[in-house]
Structure 1
Amino acid sequence: MLFSREGGLTAWSLLLWLLFLAAWQAGSGQLRYSVPEEAKHGTFVGRIVQDLGLELAELVPRLFRVACKERTDLLEVNLQNGILFVNGRIDREELCGRSAECSIHLEVIVDGPLRVFHVEVEVGDINDNPPVFRGRVQRVFFPESRLLDSRFPLEGAFDADIGVNALLSYTLSSSDFFFLDVQGSDELSQSFFLVLGKSLDREETAEFRLLLVAADGGKPGLTGTVWLLISVFDVNDNAPVFDRSVYRVHLFETVANGTLVITLNASDADGGLNGEVVFSFGSDVSFNILVKFKIDSSSGEIRLIGNLDYEEMKSYDIQVIAFDEGSPSMSGHCKVLVKVVDVNDNAPEVLITSLSFPVREDAPVGAVIALISVSDLDSGINGQVTCSLSPHVPFKLVSTFKNYYSLVLDSALDRESISAYQVVVIARDGGSPPLWASATVSVEVADVNDNAPAFAQPEYTVFVKENNPPGSHIFTVCARDADAQENALVSYSLSLVERRVGEHALLSYVSVHTESSKVFTLQSLEHEELKLLQFQVRVRDSGVPALGSNVTLQVFVLDENDNVPLLLGIGPGRAGHTVSELVSRSVCAGHVVAKVHAVDVDSGYNAWLSYELLPILGGTHSPFWVGLYTGEISTTCALVEKDTPRQSLLVLVKDHGEPTLMATATLLVSLVERPKASLWTFVSMSGSEKAIVDVNVYLIIAICTVFSLVLTLLLYTALHCSVLPGDSMCGPGKPTLVCLRAVGSWSYSQQRGQRVCSWEGLPKKDLIAFSPCFPDSRNREEQLQTTEDSFVSV
C-alpha cells in the first residue's frame, strides 16, 4: 500500500487492498484474512461468522468471543452482521518490526459445545515510513592530496518498512568533484561511498555542501535527506587503510563477557606520527552497540562487554574508524558485522486459555476439557515444541493448529473411583539438550447419580421382647450411596409390597424414620398373637432420576412370662378351683384317682408346667401325691380304715418363667367302701357340686363289657398310630417349632394336647414341655415325637 507525501491512502491503492480483504483459506483449522496497516476504523476485514459456519442468532447464546495474544483492541466483530472490522490503529512496524511476516492471531471461542477457531489476519505493509538518516549533517574530510577515485564510506538511511517499501536508492546533488558508488550486500543492506572524481585544490575550494537523497521503493515513494559537509585540508597524504572493508563474525548468544570478538588491522603508509593509527567506533554507532562492545584504541581489539540475546537482536552492524596521528588526522573506515547465533536458552511456555470444569463423569469420549497453547522464543529447531501429558490419565492432547492443542476426554470417567485428576502438560523443544516446561490442570469430576444406595446385607434378623412400649426403637438400618452431594442423600420408608400382616395393616405395627433410618414399633407386640413380623424397608436417593433398593427385616417377637397357668374348664384368672372325686378304699398303691389339667399360652420355659401337692393344714399325712409334670394324683399306699373319709388336696401349678407364675386347684376326695363310677366334675369357686348318679351292678357289668370292646379298639388304634405317627388319631396335628439360633435358647414351647382314652370317663388334656430344635427337618418330627412321648402321661 502506498502513501502520498501528505500521508494519506490513494484511492487506487485502497481499492487494490480491498480486493484482498475477504481472502481466506482453511488449513489446519485456520481462517486467514489480510488487512493493510493503518487502515481506518471500521474497515471491512471479513465475514468471519459466515466463514466459520456459524449462525448470527447463536452468537450470544453460545457466548461468542474473540481472544488475541496481541493487543485486543485492534480488531472487533460486529455481532449484528458477523463482520470482522478494524477497531484500532494497526501499526505493522510496532507489531512485528522488520519481520517479513506479520500476522494477528485470533482465537474465536464459542460454548455449547465448546469450540475454538484459529483466525490469522495478515497485516500488509504500506509505505508509511520514509528513509531516515541519523543526523541532518555528515562531515567528511578530504585532503587535497587525495588521489582520484579515493573512496569515503557514507552512512546510509534507515527505513522501518519492509520489502520494496524499504528498498532504498540514493542520489547526490550535482558536483564535478564527487559522485556516489553504491554496493549491495547479502545482509539486505547497502554500502555506498563518496568517490573523488576530480583533483581537489584547497586554495580554490576549501569546502563543499552536497545534498544526499535516499528514496524508498514504495509507490508513491518517500524520501529522506542529509547534508554532506566536505572539508578539504592540506596535510597527511595517506590515510590508514584496513585490510578488509567488511569483517564478519559469528557469536553464540551465550558467550561470556570479555570474549574477544575480532582484532582489526589498519596500516598507514605515512611515517612518524602520521603513521600511528588509533581505532574508535564511528560517531554514528548506536547505543545498543556501545553497551555490548568496546574497542581497544591502540590494538584494534573488539571485546564483548554485555550479554547477547538472539531473541533481542540477531545482528550488529559496527562502523569502525582508524585515525592517524597526523595533523590534520586522516582516517580509514571499515564495517564489522556481528551475527548472533541462536542457542537453546529459552524454555517453552505453556498457557491454558480456556477451561470447562468440572467435568461430568458421564461426559462423552472426545469432549473438550481445556484449550492449551505453547510457545518458545528460540528459533529453528530450538523453537519447535512438542507436548505430552502425564501418564495414566483418561485424557489426551489433540493438535488443532501449530502450537495449539485441545485437552479432550480419552476414556470414560468414574467419580466413585477417582474424583479429581492433576493433569500435567509437558512441553519440550527440539534443542540439544532440550528444555521443557509444564503446567498442571486440575480436572474435577462432577458426580452423576449412577449408584443406587445399598444395604450391607439383603436381610436382617431382629429380636424384640413382647410387651414392648409403643414407639420403641428396635433396629437401625443403614444404606450407603457411593455418589456425592444430593445424589447421596437418602431417605427411608416402608415398602408397601406387603400391606397387611394378618388382619392388620403393616403401618399399624412399625414405622421407619425418613432420615435416621430408625425402625420403631407403633404398638405393644404380643408373642401369643404375632411371633414373626417380616417386612421390607426401602431406601431412595435424591438424584434425578432417583435410585433405590430394599432390605428385608425379620422381627421375631420373644416370649415373656406374662400368662399364668390356665386350668382347663374353669377359665383364666381364677384361683382356688375345686374338683370332687370318689375313691374306693380298696384301691392299691399307685392308683390314679384324678388328674389336674392345665395349660400356659406362653412358650418355652415360660410354658413348662410343674405340679406339686401342698401340705394339708394340721400336718396330717396324706396318702396321695401328684406327678411333677403329669398332674396325675395317685395313691402312695393302700388306703386303710384310719384314713379320713373326706380329704381336701391343694394342688399348686406353676411355670418355669422368670418370675414364676402359678395357679391352684383343690381336689375333694371322698373315700367309699365300694367302687362306684366316678366322674370328673369341675365346679366354680362357689363350691357347688353336681350330683353323683348311682349305677346298679347290672349297669356296671354292661359298661365293663362295652369298655372292653372300646379298649380293644383303642389298642388297635394305638398300634396303628405307632406305625404311622403322622396320622395319629389322638393327636391334634403337627406341632409348630421355632428356634432362634442367634440367641441359643428356647423361644417357643411345643404345645400339644393329648387325648387319653381311659375307663374313668371324660378325656383328659395334658401340657407337654418344650422340645429342642433339630437341624434336619425329617429327623425333627421323629425326635419331637420321642420328646413328647417322654412327657405324656397315659
Structure 2
Amino acid sequence: MELLWRSGRESRRLLLSLLFLAVWETGSGQVRYSVPEEAKHGTFVGRIAQDLGLELEELVPRMFRVASKGSGDLLEVNLQNGILFVNSRIDREELCGRSLECSIHLEVIVERPLQVFHVEVEVRDINDNPPVFPGSQKNLFMAESRPLDSWFPLEGASDADVGANALLTYRLSPNEYFSLEKTSDDKRIKRLGLVLRKPLDREESSEIFLMLTATDGGKPELTGTIQLLVIVLDANDNTPTFDRTLYTVKLPENVPNGTLVIKLNASDLDEGSNGDIIYSFSTDTLPNVKSKFHIDPITGELIVKGYIDFEESKSFEIFVEGIDKGQLPLSGHCTVMVEVEDTNDNVPIMEFKSLSLPIREDAPLGTVIALISVSDRDSGVNRQVTCTLLPHVPFKLVSTFNNYYSLVLDSALDRENVANYELVVTAQDGGLPSLSATASVFVEVADVNDNAPAFAQPEYTVFVKENNPPGCHIFTVSARDADAQENALVSYSLVERRVGERALSSYVSVHAESGKVYALQPLDHEELELLQFQVSARDAGVPPLGSNVTLQVFVLDENDNAPALLPPGSDSGGGVVSQPLARSVGAGHVVAKVRAVDADSGYNAWLSYELLSEAGGAHSPFRVGLYTGEISTTRALDEVDAPRQRLLVLVKDHGEPALAVTATVLLSLADSSQTPNNPSRMSVEATGPEAALVDVNVYLIIAICAVSSLLVLTLLLYTALRCSAPPTEGACRPLKPTLVCPSAVGSWLCSQQRRQRVCSGECPPKTDLMAFSPSVPESGAIGFSF
C-alpha cells in the first residue's frame, strides 16, 4: 500500500479513475455504478436521483431512502443534491472475498406512489494486497541420491486481490542447483516446484539457501518473499507417489460426521520402513479445512468431522502429503478438491418493505397494500421462490420484479360485512422436498360513510290518550347506522309541515340524540284524531346520509264531553213536533222525542235515556225509549191524571265515569172534545251541566204560553188558510249541527255532517204546540220531537 500511494504516476491514475467512476447504465430496471475500493469518504459515485428520473424537491416529501443488503452504511445519498457518495471505507476483500464479481446492491424506495429501484454499485479491485506466503521460511529435505529433474513441491503465495492484481509470477534467486517450474497448466493448481538441475552432494554442500519471490500483476506491482532452506540428506532415494496429482470429489452439504470423502493411495518403491507411508495434511493446509476434515494416517481415508455448509464454503482445497518411514523420510504430495453440492436446507425469507394500512373500504381495485421481498440462501432451483396467498380473500399477489411481490386489492371491500382480514402469505422454494415460510398481515378496513341510518320499519303507529300533560313522552324512534365512529352518530329532527293552520313543531318535538318524541301540548281527540308526521335521521358523516320514518299518532278519546241536547226545530228530528195529546190516546202512543249528541266517540258517545223517579214511577203513564229517546204512553190516560205532566229525562253516555244531562218535558192534557180547538200544551226544559239556562226560563215560557193562547189560535187559523194554497218553499238558513244516527243499539256520533234547514213562512198546517228553549252553544244544542 505504501508503494501505491508513493507512486506519483499511480496517484494520478487513481485520481483520473475517481473523476470517471460514475459510469452507469439502465437495463432490466436497474442502474449501475462503479467505484474503486478504499475510496475516501465523500467520493462521488453517481447522480442517483437524476438517473432514476426523480426530482430533487420530491426526495424528502416522498420519503426517499436507500437500503443495502448486508453492506451497512458504505454508501449514502445527499438528499439536497441527489448524489450517491462513499460514506465509509470499502474493502473489496472483506466484502466479497475472492469472488471475481463484487457489487453492492441497493434498494431505493420512494412513497406516494410506492416505487422501488434496484441500484448496483460495482466495487473495483485495486492492488492493495501483496502476495503472502504461508511462512517466512520453509525447510526442504532432499536426499543426495535424488536424480536430476527431480521435482520438489513448493507452496505458492496467495493474494487477496482478484483478476490481474492476483495474477502471480515467481522468480527464484540465482543458483546452480535448482530451477523453478509449475507442474501443470491447470489454474486450480497453485503448487510450484523446484527442479533439480545439478546433482546434490551432501559432502560438498549440505545446505542451500534460496529466495523465492512472488510478484502480482497489479499496477504498481507488489511482492512477497519466502526463504527456502534445502537440507541435503543421505538415505531414502524413492519418494512416495500418489495415483494422481489432483483428486476431485463432490460432497453434498450437511453430511453427517464420519462420512468418507475419498481414500487416498500412495506407493513407495522402497522396502521395509522406507516403503511404509504415513498420510497427513500439509503444513500449509488452512485451519478451516483441518476443522472440517480428518485423514487417517494409516489408511489414507479422508473423512468429514465438521459441519459442511454450502452457503459457508462452496469448495475446499486440501493438500495431502505421504511421508515414508525411512531414516531420511521422503514425501509425496497431492491435492484433493472437494466441491460442496447444495441441498435445500434454507427456508425462504420474507420481508415487508412497505405497508399502507388501514385501507379504505372504497379503495379502487389494484391499490397496493404491501411490498414483499423474498430471498433464499440456497442456489439453483432451491432458491427459486414463489409466493401464494390464502384463497377467498379480496386481495392477490402480483410479481412485480425479481424476488418482489405486491399485495394489491383484487375485489371491492365492505367494512360493514368484514371489518378486517388476516392474510397469510406463503413463500415456497423450488427444492425437492420444498421448504416454505409463512407470514401474517393484519389488514384493517377503514370506514367510509356509505350507509344511511336505517329504521327497523318504515312506519310506526302510536296511540296517545287525549288531554295528555304538556311535554309527555309519547314514543322513541331509533335508527341504526352500519358505519363506524362519527359516520354512525345519528341525530334526529322533525320534517316540518303544516297541520291545519299551525306548524307541526307546535304539537310535537323530537330529542336530537335520544330520538324521544314529546307532545308539546295536550291533544284533543275532538280537534285532531290523527297526527301523521315524519322524523328524519341523519348521520355525522361527510357528506351526511339520512332517512325518514313516518309516525301515525292516533289520539284516543276520553270521556271529557257530556251529552248535549239538540234544539227543537231541525229536520233531523232535533226539534219539537207538536201533536194533539188527548186523554183518549191509548198505550204506546209517542208523545215526544228527546234528542242529544255527544262530542266524544265510541262508547263515550253512546247515549241512553231514562225517566227519573219523579215522573217515572210505577203508576206513571209515560215511559222513554232506552236508546231512542222517544216518550210514549204506557197506558190510556184518564181523568185522574193531572192536566199538566212534568217529565224529567236523564240522558247519559257510557264513558268511565259516565257524564249526563237532564231534560224537563212539560205536557198539557186536554179532553178529546177540546183537542181540535184547544190542543194540549207541552214545554221542554233542559237541566244539567249543558242546560243551566233552560231551568231559569221554564216558568217564563209557561207564562208566555198561557198569555199567548189566543195568539196561537189565530196563528193556527192563518196557517190553515195558507196551507190550502199551493205550498211554497220559504227562506232557509243553513246550520251545521253534528248528525246523530239512531240505530238498534243507540245513538252514535257519525263522521259526516249534513246541512239542516230551518224553514219559516208558509208551511203545512200543524196542530202541535211549539215550545222553545233558550239558545245554547251549537256544540251543545238540544232538540225534541213529539
The DSSP-based 3-state class of the residue aligned with 1:543 is coil
**Alignment-mate amino acid for residue 527 of structure 2:** E
The DSSP-based 3-state class of the residue aligned with 1:689 is helix
Alpha-carbon contact 2:609-2:626 (below 8 Å) kept:
yes
Structure 1 regions of 5+ residues with no counterpart? 571-577, 715-728, 737-746, 766-791
Alpha-carbon contact 1:579-1:667 (below 8 Å) kept:
no
Alpha-carbon contact 1:20-1:34 (below 8 Å) kept:
no
Please report how far the alpha carbon of residue 567 of structure 1 lies from its aligned counterpart in structure 2 after TM superposition.
Answer: 2.4
Please report how far the alpha carbon of residue 698 of structure 1 lies from its aligned counterpart in structure 2 after TM superposition.
Answer: 7.3
Query: Structure 1 residues 27 and 652, CA, compared in 2 at 3 Å: closer, same or farther?
Result: farther
Aligned position for 1:122? 122
The DSSP-based 3-state class of the residue aligned with 1:672 is coil
CA shift digits 1:523-543 (9 cap, x unpaired): 111111111111111111111
CA shift digits 1:744-768 (9 cap, x unpaired): xxx9864667969995477999xxx
The DSSP-based 3-state class of the residue aligned with 2:258 is coil
The DSSP-based 3-state class of the residue aligned with 1:13 is helix
Alpha-carbon contact 1:3-1:127 (below 8 Å) kept:
no
Aligned-partner Cα distance in 2 for 1:9–1:525:
112
Alpha-carbon contact 2:22-2:35 (below 8 Å) kept:
no
Alpha-carbon contact 1:650-1:665 (below 8 Å) kept:
yes
Alpha-carbon contact 2:581-2:680 (below 8 Å) kept:
no
Query: Structure 1 residues 677 and 198, CA, compared in 2 at 3 Å: closer, same or farther?
Result: farther
**Alignment-mate amino acid for residue 695 of structure 2:** M
Moved more, 184-193 or 307-316: 184-193
Please report how far the alpha carbon of residue 601 of structure 1 lies from its aligned counterpart in structure 2 after TM superposition.
Answer: 0.8
The DSSP-based 3-state class of the residue aligned with 1:584 is coil
CA shift digits 1:266-313 (9 cap, x unpaired): 111111111111111112222211221111111111111122111111
CA shift digits 1:558-609 (9 cap, x unpaired): 1111211122359xxxxxxx99999432333223222222211111111111
- Aligned 1:17-32 pairs, distance under 5 A: 17-18=17-18, 20-32=20-32
- CA RMSD of superposed structures (Å): 3.4
Aligned-partner Cα distance in 2 for 1:412–1:107:
32
**Alignment-mate amino acid for residue 235 of structure 1:** A
CA shift digits 1:618-651 (9 cap, x unpaired): 9562111111122121212221111122333221
**Alignment-mate amino acid for residue 685 of structure 1:** D
- Aligned 1:45-64 pairs, distance under 5 A: 45-64=45-64
The DSSP-based 3-state class of the residue aligned with 2:700 is coil
Aligned position for 2:245? 245
Aligned position for 2:547? 549
Aligned-partner Cα distance in 2 for 1:2–1:678:
156
Aligned position for 2:779? none
Moved more, 589-598 or 38-47: 589-598
**Alignment-mate amino acid for residue 223 of structure 2:** T
Aligned-partner Cα distance in 1 for 2:450–2:8:
68
Aligned-partner Cα distance in 1 for 2:379–2:3:
34
Please report how far the alpha carbon of residue 251 of structure 1 lies from its aligned counterpart in structure 2 after TM superposition.
Answer: 0.8
Aligned-partner Cα distance in 2 for 1:93–1:214:
20
Aligned-partner Cα distance in 2 for 1:199–1:354:
75
Alpha-carbon contact 1:33-1:46 (below 8 Å) kept:
yes
Please report how far the alpha carbon of residue 31 of structure 1 lies from its aligned counterpart in structure 2 after TM superposition.
Answer: 2.2
Aligned position for 2:305? 305
**Alignment-mate amino acid for residue 694 of structure 1:** S
CA shift digits 1:220-260 (9 cap, x unpaired): 22222222222111121112111111111111113222111
Alpha-carbon contact 1:630-1:793 (below 8 Å) kept:
no
Aligned-partner Cα distance in 2 for 1:619–1:677:
22
Aligned position for 1:605? 603
Alpha-carbon contact 2:666-2:684 (below 8 Å) kept:
no
**Alignment-mate amino acid for residue 358 of structure 1:** P
Aligned position for 1:290? 290
The DSSP-based 3-state class of the residue aligned with 2:26 is coil
- Aligned 1:351-390 pairs, distance under 5 A: 351-390=351-390
**Alignment-mate amino acid for residue 308 of structure 1:** I
2:613 to 612, 615, 619: 615
Query: Structure 1 residues 226 and 623, CA, compared in 2 at 3 Å: closer, same or farther?
Result: same
1:689 to 700, 708, 713: 700
Aligned position for 2:11? 11
Query: Structure 1 residues 218 and 460, CA, compared in 2 at 3 Å: closer, same or farther?
Result: same
The DSSP-based 3-state class of the residue aligned with 1:164 is helix
Moved more, 159-168 or 235-244: 159-168
Aligned-partner Cα distance in 2 for 1:735–1:88:
110
Aligned-partner Cα distance in 2 for 1:264–1:350:
45
Aligned position for 1:321? 321
- Aligned 1:645-664 pairs, distance under 5 A: 645-664=643-662
**Alignment-mate amino acid for residue 508 of structure 2:** V
Q: Give the TM-score normalised by the residue count of structure 2.
A: 0.87
CA shift digits 1:133-165 (9 cap, x unpaired): 222222211111111111122112222222222
- Aligned 1:113-262 pairs, distance under 5 A: 113-183=113-183, 188-262=188-262
The DSSP-based 3-state class of the residue aligned with 2:311 is coil
Aligned-partner Cα distance in 2 for 1:130–1:734:
129
Alpha-carbon contact 1:580-1:681 (below 8 Å) kept:
no
Aligned position for 1:672? 670
**Alignment-mate amino acid for residue 344 of structure 2:** N
Please report how far the alpha carbon of residue 118 of structure 1 lies from its aligned counterpart in structure 2 after TM superposition.
Answer: 2.3
Aligned-partner Cα distance in 2 for 1:647–1:75:
129
Q: Spell out structure 1 runs of 4+ moving beyond 6 A.
A: 578-582, 707-714, 729-736, 753-758, 761-765
CA shift digits 1:361-406 (9 cap, x unpaired): 2222232211111111111121122222222233333333321222
The DSSP-based 3-state class of the residue aligned with 2:699 is coil
Aligned-partner Cα distance in 2 for 1:583–1:65:
120
Query: Structure 1 residues 601 and 187, CA, compared in 2 at 3 Å: closer, same or farther?
Result: farther
Aligned-partner Cα distance in 2 for 1:471–1:124:
91
**Alignment-mate amino acid for residue 252 of structure 2:** F
**Alignment-mate amino acid for residue 555 of structure 1:** V
* Identical columns (%): 63
Alpha-carbon contact 1:3-1:126 (below 8 Å) kept:
no
Aligned-partner Cα distance in 1 for 2:429–2:467:
83
Aligned-partner Cα distance in 2 for 1:534–1:762:
48
The DSSP-based 3-state class of the residue aligned with 2:201 is coil
Please report how far the alpha carbon of residue 23 of structure 1 lies from its aligned counterpart in structure 2 after TM superposition.
Answer: 2.7
Aligned-partner Cα distance in 1 for 2:771–2:99:
125
The DSSP-based 3-state class of the residue aligned with 2:93 is helix
Aligned position for 1:644? 642
Aligned position for 2:39? 39
The DSSP-based 3-state class of the residue aligned with 1:57 is helix
Aligned-partner Cα distance in 2 for 1:611–1:27:
112
Please report how far the alpha carbon of residue 679 of structure 1 lies from its aligned counterpart in structure 2 after TM superposition.
Answer: 6.4
Aligned position for 1:480? 480
2:589 to 566, 588, 591: 591
Aligned position for 1:461? 461
Aligned-partner Cα distance in 2 for 1:148–1:504:
135
Aligned-partner Cα distance in 2 for 1:145–1:384:
60
Aligned length: 736
Aligned position for 1:523? 521
Aligned position for 1:77? 77
CA shift digits 1:678-702 (9 cap, x unpaired): 5655562224332223257675466
Aligned-partner Cα distance in 2 for 1:372–1:467:
72
Query: Structure 1 residues 754 and 761, CA, compared in 2 at 3 Å: closer, same or farther?
Result: farther
Q: Give the TM-score normalised by the residue count of structure 1.
A: 0.86
Moved more, 124-133 or 522-531: 124-133
Aligned-partner Cα distance in 2 for 1:268–1:314:
34
Alpha-carbon contact 1:469-1:524 (below 8 Å) kept:
yes
